[in-house]
Amino acid sequence: MNMDKVDPATRSRMMASVRSKNTAPELAVRRLAHRLGYRFRLHRRGLPGTPDMVFPKYRVAIQVHGCFWHGHEDCRHAARPRSNTEFWNEKIERNRVRDARDVAALAAAGWTVLIVWGCEVKDEAELTVRLRTALSLPGHLHGSDARS
């Protein structure tokens, strides 16, 4: 029984248009990191999982995960579709397995991995703390805010 509110062709087109790079949450994390004075590289292909952001100086990789696509536990944004449930459950589980494998490979190569969920981006104060902690810097700012 199909419970979708749109026809299959429209749903397919909608899902195909979802970006995997340069998403709104990813751009928000990048803007914040840059504003805090951190410099990074984007989508490093030579690393497991092609992390969204890489801070080579600190050996830190950041993955910004969409709550739906990566199966964020207990998140209202990760609600599974009511149609084609078997497909979606398998798809999201494959993503979760791949994510765990990539994090393990990065850690084995000496990288610290920070996962930022899309729903966490709105709390900029908490995200600032998480970024600074992961990058192991003292509480001062670098760059244009260093004078304050």
**Pick from 66, 65, 60, 70: nearest CA to 33:** 60
pTM reported for the whole predicted model: 0.79
Instruction: Tell me, yes or no, whether 6 lies in a domain.
Output: no
Instruction: Tell me, yes or no, whether 14 lies in a domain.
Output: no
Task: Answer whether residue 25 shows pLDDT above 50.
Answer: yes
Instruction: Tell me, yes or no, whether 52 lies in a domain.
Output: yes
- The string of pLDDT tens digits covering residues 83-142 is 888 999 999 999 999 999 999 999 999 999 999 999 999 999 999 999 999 987 443 333
63 — phi, psi (to 5°)?
Answer: -110, 125
E strands of the chain, at which residues? 41-42, 53-55, 60-65, 112-117
Instruction: Tell me, yes or no, whether 44 lies in a domain.
Output: yes
CA–CA distance, 34 with 36 (Å, rounded to integer)? 5
Given pLDDT bands bounded at 50, 70 and 90, which one contains residue 82? confident
Instruction: Tell me, yes or no, whether 141 lies in a domain.
Output: no
Instruction: Tell me, yes or no, whether 70 lies in a domain.
Output: yes
CB 77 within 8 A of CB 119: yes
CATH number at residue 27: 3.40.960.10
Residue 56: C-alpha distances to residues 4, 41, 53, 77, 111 (Å) = 44, 8, 10, 31, 9
Q: How many domains does the chain have?
A: 1
The rounded Cα 138 to chain-centroid distance in angstroms is 24
Which has the higher per-residue pLDDT, 92 or 4? 92
Instruction: Tell me, yes or no, whether 74 lies in a domain.
Output: yes
Instruction: Tell me, yes or no, whether 9 lies in a domain.
Output: no
The residue range of the domain holding 86 is 19-136
